[in-house]
């Protein structure tokens, strides 16, 4: 059946391919091919996990209190039967043998096949049994994860698959870095959620907030994902397909043309230099950073090193990651942000502690100050990496003077610890702070006094100024970078920092939005940090900007109390 869905565009470009329906569980499991000689071992792992899951069920059965409702026992029996059934105990083994799938991947594939069969049943009661199968598989996956850590999957060729999911976490999205799908679309999610940010960093088209896509699309359906407009076409007719293929090649040509700007110095028409930096999540992203010709890394989101694993990365492991980035950048600045976990970024494989309001909870620097040993290990790793390039430390989510004081005291302590151990580090590593909480923007002098540089995190600044959860598509229409309150905070931070001679950058998604370049330049910004994929389009804007015209128009946008009129002025600025 041919139909079109509209959602929020997250990552530009057009992708045409086959739908690949995934559940979150599927994304969370490792997916790799095993060598011939590992087949038997993999089958043993699966059998051991089934035995362990059954033991757990027996232990549960023994704990059922007398007089408990009969459903308890029935539920355990049902799960035991599911585990015993050949569709789960035998069929995945065939996938391991014949397709060389790892046990987790074989199980999840089989689970989805069964779930689809149940989904198609007429009887509502039987249809609901799909959940029991998923729960039994979850139990097996947990049992499998309890063993040794898994080898890294090799990259696979999945470029023509379009992932269709209800929701994906940032940790799920990280797996895309290994598997390189053609595009992704989800039912829920906000445009500046970390899931969306990772999609942008992968430079694959993506749409969020499609509401019922996961339910309406079937595995293998032909899809067109227009990540520029937020349009998803399902089962397109030949004319539409031809039109989108044309647009796809035009988009490709434009991208190709932009590549010519790679080594052009970034400056406005009057010659004012503008620094264009890149944001990264993992050390391997430096390849794209160099391809885009970035002048440095303005934001290394280190928390991504902590995801999809059960343990925390050790100081040495972190040191190696930071050192590799510093080396790859050959002396260009590398701003390493300390761990910003919490809110939509969970670390570790287990359940997160319950927080009534995660975005307002123990996130980022708050977590690090509550866990000084974790923080110190990271600070030592960053300081050690400073010997290999121009490394800077960036502290996220600062709001209070005492947080800055405590964080700086810990930086000092980390230096002392390295000195005591005779480990080398650069003494002059600069420490900066993110301005992403309105309180920090409003009390800026307090920050400038203690910090070497500032970086505006507009994603969170907008979230906290407008009280809008950046991950919630239900309020995504209210997430507005041009809201006068947001613009005033941004303008004031840039102005105050420039007057004091404190370097200031924007590293939130606003910095990678071509339509906002002239506005930010007009407000005095000279350092933008964004995903490498956006960098050349931003450079093109910078090169075509007349600062003398942009400045007064930017001030008019800022002074305009009516958002609709502000948009008209912005259009004029961009003309
Ligand atoms: C921001 O908040 O704008 C930012 C750059 O940090 P993150 O998106 O990782 O929260
Ligand atoms: Mg932030």
Atom nearest to 458 CA in ligand 1: 3
**Which stretch of 24-28, 397-401, 466-470, 544-548 has the lowest confidence by average pLDDT?**
24-28
Q: For the segment 356-366, what is each residue's pLDDT rounded down to a tens digit?
A: 888 898 899 99
Instruction: Provide the pLDDT for residue 353.
Output: 61
Note the Cα 141 to chain centre separation in Å. Answer: 24
Annotated active-site residue in 31, 79, 166, 194: 194
Residue 446's CB: how many other CB atoms inside 10 A? Answer: 15
Q: Are 571 and 560 in contact (CB under 8 A)?
A: no
* pLDDT average, residue stretch 485-490: 97
Atom nearest to 507 CA in ligand 1: 5
Instruction: Provide the pLDDT for residue 157.
Output: 43
Q: For the segment 342-380, what is each residue's pLDDT rounded down to a tens digit?
A: 777 766 544 456 678 888 988 999 999 999 999 999 999
251 catalytically annotated: no
Instruction: Provide the pLDDT for residue 152.
Output: 34
Q: pLDDT grade, residue 471 (50/70/90)?
A: confident
Atom nearest to 279 CA in ligand 1: 5
Q: Are 487 and 498 in contact (CB under 8 A)?
A: no
Secondary structure (3-state) at 524: coil
Q: Which of 83-92, 161-170, 184-193, 434-443 has the highest mean pLDDT?
A: 434-443
Q: What's the mean pLDDT when you consider all of the chain? A: 89
Long-range Cβ pairs for the range 249-255 (8 Å, 24+): 251/12, 251/13, 251/14
* pLDDT average, residue stretch 33-53: 90
Residue 540 has pLDDT above 70, yes or no: yes
Q: Whose CA is nearest to atom 1 of ligand 1?
A: 457
Instruction: Provide the pLDDT for residue 26.
Output: 52
Helices then strands, counting H and E runs in the chain, come out as 24, 16
Q: By percentage, how much of the chain surpasses pLDDT 90?
A: 64
Q: How far is the CA of 135 from the centre of ligand 1 (A)?
A: 34
Q: For the segment 57-81, what is each residue's pLDDT rounded down to a tens digit?
A: 887 777 666 666 566 677 778 888 9
Triad 285, 287, 291: Cα angle to 5°: 120
Instruction: Provide the pLDDT for residue 512.
Output: 96
402 catalytically annotated: no
Q: For the segment 158-176, what is each residue's pLDDT rounded down to a tens digit?
A: 567 898 988 877 766 766 6
Q: Is 315 in the pocket of ligand 1 (CB under 6 A)?
A: no
Atom nearest to 301 CA in ligand 1: 9
DSSP state letters, 128-142: HHHHHHHHHHHHHHH
Q: Whose CA is nearest to atom 4 of ligand 1?
A: 457
Residue 573 has pLDDT above 60, yes or no: yes
Q: By percentage, how much of the chain surpasses pLDDT 70?
A: 91
Residue 540: in which H helix or E strand, if any?
A: helix 532-543
Q: Residues of 414-439 as b/e, b for ≥16 C-beta within 10 angstroms?
A: bbeebeeeeeebbeebbbbbbbbbbe
Instruction: Provide the pLDDT for residue 199.
Output: 81
Q: How far is the CA of 67 from the centre of ligand 2 (A)?
A: 51
Residue 156 has pLDDT above 70, yes or no: no
pTM confidence score = 0.76
Q: For the segment 207-251, what is each residue's pLDDT rounded down to a tens digit?
A: 999 988 988 998 889 999 999 999 999 999 999 999 999 999 999
Q: Is 301 in the pocket of ligand 1 (CB under 6 A)?
A: yes
CA dist., res. 487 & res. 484, Å (int): 5
Q: For the segment 258-293, what is each residue's pLDDT rounded down to a tens digit?
A: 999 999 999 999 999 999 999 999 999 999 999 999
Q: What is the 3-state secondary structure (H, E, C) of 100-114?
A: CECHHHHHHHHHHHH
- Domains located in the chain, CATH noted: 8-22+150-238 (3.50.30.10), 36-145 (1.10.274.10), 266-547 (3.20.20.60)
Q: Is 288 in the pocket of ligand 1 (CB under 6 A)?
A: no
Instruction: Provide the pLDDT for residue 160.
Output: 78
Instruction: Provide the pLDDT for residue 148.
Output: 36
Q: For the segment 418-459, what is each residue's pLDDT rounded down to a tens digit?
A: 999 999 999 999 999 999 999 999 999 999 999 999 999 999
Note the Cα 27 to chain centre separation in Å. Answer: 14
Q: Is 457 in the pocket of ligand 1 (CB under 6 A)?
A: yes
Residue 150 has pLDDT above 90, yes or no: no
Q: Is 226 in the pocket of ligand 1 (CB under 6 A)?
A: no
């Amino acid at each position: 059946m041919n139909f079109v869905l509209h959602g929020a565009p997250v990552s530009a470009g057009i992708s045409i391919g086959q739908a690949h329906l995934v559940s979150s569980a599927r994304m969370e499991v490792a997916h790799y091919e095993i060598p011939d000689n590992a087949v038997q071992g993999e089958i043993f792992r699966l059998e051991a996990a089934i035995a362990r899951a059954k033991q757990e069920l027996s232990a549960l059965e023994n704990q059922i209190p007398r007089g408990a409702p009969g459903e308890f026992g029935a539920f355990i029996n049902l799960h035991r039967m599911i585990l015993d059934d050949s569709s789960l105990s035998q069929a995945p083994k065939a996938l391991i043998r014949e397709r060389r799938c790892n046990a987790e991947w074989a199980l999840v594939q089989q689970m989805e096949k069964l779930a689809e069969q149940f989904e198609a049943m007429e009887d509502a009661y039987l249809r609901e049994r799909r959940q029991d199968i998923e729960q039994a598989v979850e139990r097996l996956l947990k049992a499998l994860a309890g063993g040794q850590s898994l080898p890294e999957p090799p990259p696979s060729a999945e470029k023509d698959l379009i992932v269709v999911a209800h929701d994906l976490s940032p940790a799920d999205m990280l797996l895309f870095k290994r598997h390189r799908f053609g595009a992704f679309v989800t039912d829920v999610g906000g445009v500046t959620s970390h899931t969306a940010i990772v999609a942008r960093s992968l430079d694959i088209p993506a749409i969020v907030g499609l509401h019922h896509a996961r339910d309406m699309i079937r595995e293998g359906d032909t899809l067109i994902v227009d990540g520029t407009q937020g349009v998803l076409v399902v089962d397109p007719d030949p004319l539409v397909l031809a039109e989108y293929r044309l647009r796809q090649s035009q988009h490709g040509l434009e991208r190709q043309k932009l590549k010519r700007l790679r080594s052009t110095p970034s400056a406005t028409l009057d010659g004012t230099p503008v620094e264009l930096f890149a944001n990264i999540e993992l050390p391997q992203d430096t390849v794209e950073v160099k391809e885009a010709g970035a002048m440095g890394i303005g934001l290394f989101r280190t928390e991504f090193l902590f995801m999809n694993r059960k343990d925390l990365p050790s100081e040495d492991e972190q040191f190696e990651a930071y050192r590799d980035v510093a080396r790859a950048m050959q002396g260009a600045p590398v701003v390493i942000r300390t761990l910003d976990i919490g809110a939509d970024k969970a670390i570790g494989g287990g359940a997160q502690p319950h927080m009534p309001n995660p975005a307002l909870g123990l996130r980022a620097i708050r977590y690090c100050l509550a866990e000084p040993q974790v923080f110190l290990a990271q600070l030592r790793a960053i300081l050690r990496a400073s010997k290999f390039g121009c490394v800077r430390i960036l502290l996220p989510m600062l709001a209070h003077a005492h947080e800055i004081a405590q964080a700086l005291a810990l930086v000092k302590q980390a230096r002392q610890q390295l000195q005591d151990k005779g480990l080398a580090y650069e003494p002059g590593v600069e420490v900066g702070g993110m301005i992403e909480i309105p309180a920090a923007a409003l009390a800026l002098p307090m920050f400038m006094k203690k910090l070497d540089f500032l970086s505006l995190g507009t994603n969170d600044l907008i979230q906290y100024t407008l009280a809008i959860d950046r991950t919630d598509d239900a309020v995504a229409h209210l997430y507005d970078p041009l809201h006068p309150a947001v613009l005033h905070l941004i303008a004031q931070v840039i102005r105050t920092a420039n007057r004091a001679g404190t370097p200031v950058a924007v590293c939130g998604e606003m910095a990678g939005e071509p339509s906002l370049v002239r506005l930010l330049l007009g407000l005095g910004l000279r350092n933008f940090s964004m995903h490498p994929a956006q960098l050349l389009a931003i450079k093109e804007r910078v090169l075509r900007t007349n600062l003398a015209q942009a400045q007064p128009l930017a001030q008019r946008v800022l002074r305009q109390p009516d958002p609709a009129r502000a948009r008209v002025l912005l259009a004029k600025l961009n003309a």
